[in-house]
Amino acid sequence: MIKKIDHIGIAVRDLESAMDLYRKLGFEIKEIEEVAEQKVRVAMIPAGESKIELLEATSDESAVAKFIERKGEGIHHIAVNVENIEKALENAKANGLQLIDEKPRTGVGGKKIAFVHPKSTKGVLLEFVEG
């Protein structure tokens, strides 16, 4: 059901300076996209079969802005690639995990995504990504 770690999301205050830092480290920025529904700008950085996702809030009301306000910049979530997101959500719910998303929504690149609440995963926000 779970194929691989898709990406690690990192909340940043300033996407441009974060991208500059990762470029200095030798990474190549492949995609920059705004996800209006989630109120974020995102830079995807390939790292082998996985990616690093830099997330900058575009509104003080976004989950990323609230995260940075509470915890500062840093790892926001871990995303795993799943074959079937609906089955992954059903399985998580059947096993007593608290879901943030009962149904998938659209994320970066138009992929289906859904989140599992960190209260259910030892404090880690877990994202399912299909595709």
Residue 70 DSSP SS3? helix
Domain count across the chain? 1
Mean pLDDT along residues 94-109: 96
Asked if residues 42 and 55 have their Cβ atoms less than 8 Å apart, the reply is yes
Mean pLDDT along residues 38-48: 96
Tell me the residue type at 91.
N
| pLDDT digit string, tens, across residues 56-97 | 999 999 999 999 999 999 999 999 999 999 999 999 999 999
Per-residue pLDDT band at 111 (split at 50, 70, 90): very high
CATH number at residue 35: 3.10.180.10
102 is in which domain, residue-wise? 2-130
Instruction: Looking at 14-62, list the stretches that DSSP marks H as alpha helix, in order from N- to C-terminal side.
Output: 15-24
Report pLDDT for 131: 83
